[in-house]
């Protein structure tokens, strides 16, 4: 059953006409791609999580599309340029991008097996993420106080949904972050914990990428228009 023990395969058995068969047993040297056997667990987990993130980004794409369709549907209510405060948004962006940096440092600390640094950096990431969320909630509260609530117009519905969906992801990310801090603390640098923390880091960075989209499409374009 090993690679060498395959005697007597029908010579030139090549039912799909893939060519090759140079060694005369249909076991061509050119096996095509992906003949290396199952990938290691670390690769499989990260790969699967990437696929999940891509699906999440498709979901955001649907919300972006809805925003693009409905941004003009203001129903005589407030328009984007009357609502958005770029200083506020710049502060939010700063917090989130910085939290991605600290999250990256935490990953490095994990690789270096430095518990204290890891915990500290994750804590900073949490504070920055929570700060971002607080600013976003404040923006929402201000808008609603000014009568720009989501039920006012289709534009505002799609705005609150798109930005709120990102915020919801950050909130869930924070919950996950705390869980990972506790896990690393109690379980140590175990393989499965390391894989899981890598997934968390992927998730957190992906939220940054989505936020860059939100910042450009919603806020920047909104103010320019």
Partner 1 sequence: MLGKLTLDAIPLSQPIPLIAAAVVGLVLLGVIAWTVIAGHFPYLWREWITSVDHKRIGVMYCILALVMLIRGFSDAILMRSHMLFAYKAPGYLPPEHYDQIFSAHGVVMIFFGAMPFMIGLMNFAVPLQLGVRDVAFPTLNSVSFWLTASGALLVNVSLVVGEFARTGWWPAPPLSEATYSPGVGVDYYIWAIQISGIGTLLSGVNLVTTILKVRAPGMSYLRMPMFCWTALASNLLIVAAFPILTATLAMLALDRYLGFHFFTDSQGGNSMMFMNLFWAWGHPEVYILALPAYGVFSEVISTFSGKPLFAYRSMVMATMAIFILSFMVWLHHFFTMGPGGDVNGVFAITSMIIAVPTGVKIFDWLFTMYGGRIRFHTSMLWSLGFMLTFVVGGATGVLLAIPPADFVLHNSMFLVAHFHNVMVSAVLFGAFAGYAYWFPKAFGFRLDEWWGKVAFWFGISGFVVVFGAFYILGLLGMTRRMQHYDVADWRPWILIAGFGVVLMLVGVVAQVVQLVVSIRRRESLRDETGDPWDGRALEWATASPPPVFNFAAMPQVHGEEAYWTIKAAAREQLSLRNEPDYAPIEMPINNPTGVVCAFFATLIGFAMIWHIWWLAVLGFLGAFATFVVFAWRDKAEYEIPASEVQRINRANRTTRLEALQGVGRRRAA
The contact mask relative to partner 1 for 162-201 (x = CB under 8 A, - = no) is ---x---------x---x---x--xx----x---x-----
Contact 82, 153 (CB under 8 A): no
Contacts of 91 (CB under 8 A, 6+ apart): 135
State how far Cα 180 lies from the chain centre: 16
Smallest gap from residue 172 Cβ to partner 1 (A): 9
Q: How far is the CB of 60 from partner 1 (least distance, A)?
A: 8
The answer to whether the CB of 127 falls within 8 A of the CB of 177 is no
Q: Does 63 bind partner 1 (CB under 8 A)?
A: yes
Position 58 contacts partner 1 (CB under 8 A): yes
Q: Does 75 bind partner 1 (CB under 8 A)?
A: yes
CB of 160 to partner 1, least distance (A): 8
Choose one: 15-23, 115-123, 199-207, 208-216; the region binding partner 1 (CB under 8 A).
15-23
The two structure tokens encoding residue 123: 């804590």
Is residue 35 near partner 1 by the rule CB under 8 A? yes
Q: How far is the CB of 193 from partner 1 (least distance, A)?
A: 9
Q: Which two tokens stand for residue 188?
A: 């140590």
For residues 132 and 155, which CB has a smaller minimum distance to partner 1 in the complex? 155
| Residues 86/223, Cβ–Cβ less than 8 Å | yes
Please state the closest distance from residue 37 (CB atom) to partner 1, in A. Answer: 3
Distance, in Å, from the CA atom of 160 to the CA atom of 90, rounded to the nearest integer, reads: 18
> What's the sign of the alpha-carbon dihedral 134, 74, 221, 225?
negative
- Are 16 and 168 contacting, i.e. CB atoms less than 8 angstroms apart? no
17 lies in the binding site for partner 1 (CB under 8 A): yes
């Amino acid at each position: 059953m090993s690679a060498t023990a395959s005697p007597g395969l029908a010579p030139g058995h090549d039912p799909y006409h893939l060519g090759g068969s140079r060694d005369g047993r249909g076991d061509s040297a050119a096996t095509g791609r992906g003949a290396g056997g199952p990938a290691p667990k670390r690769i499989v987990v990260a790969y699967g999580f990437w696929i999940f993130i891509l699906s999440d980004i498709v979901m955001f794409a649907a919300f972006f599309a809805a925003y693009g369709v409905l941004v003009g549907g203001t129903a005589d209510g407030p328009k984007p340029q009357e609502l958005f405060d770029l200083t506020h948004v710049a502060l939010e962006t700063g917090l989130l991008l910085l939290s991605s940096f600290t999250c990256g440092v935490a990953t490095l600390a994990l690789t270096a097996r430095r518990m204290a640094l890891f915990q500290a950096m994750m804590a900073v990431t949490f504070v920055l993420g929570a700060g971002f969320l607080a600013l976003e909630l404040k923006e929402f509260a201000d808008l609603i106080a000014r009568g720009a609530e989501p039920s006012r117009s289709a534009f505002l519905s799609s705005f609150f949904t798109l930005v709120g969906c990102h915020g919801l992801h950050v909130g869930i990310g924070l919950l996950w972050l705390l869980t990972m801090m506790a896990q690393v603390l109690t379980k140590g640098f175990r393989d499965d914990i390391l894989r899981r923390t890598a997934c968390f880091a992927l998730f957190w960075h992906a939220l940054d990428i989505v936020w860059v989209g939100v910042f450009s499409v919603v806020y920047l374009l909104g103010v320019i228009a």
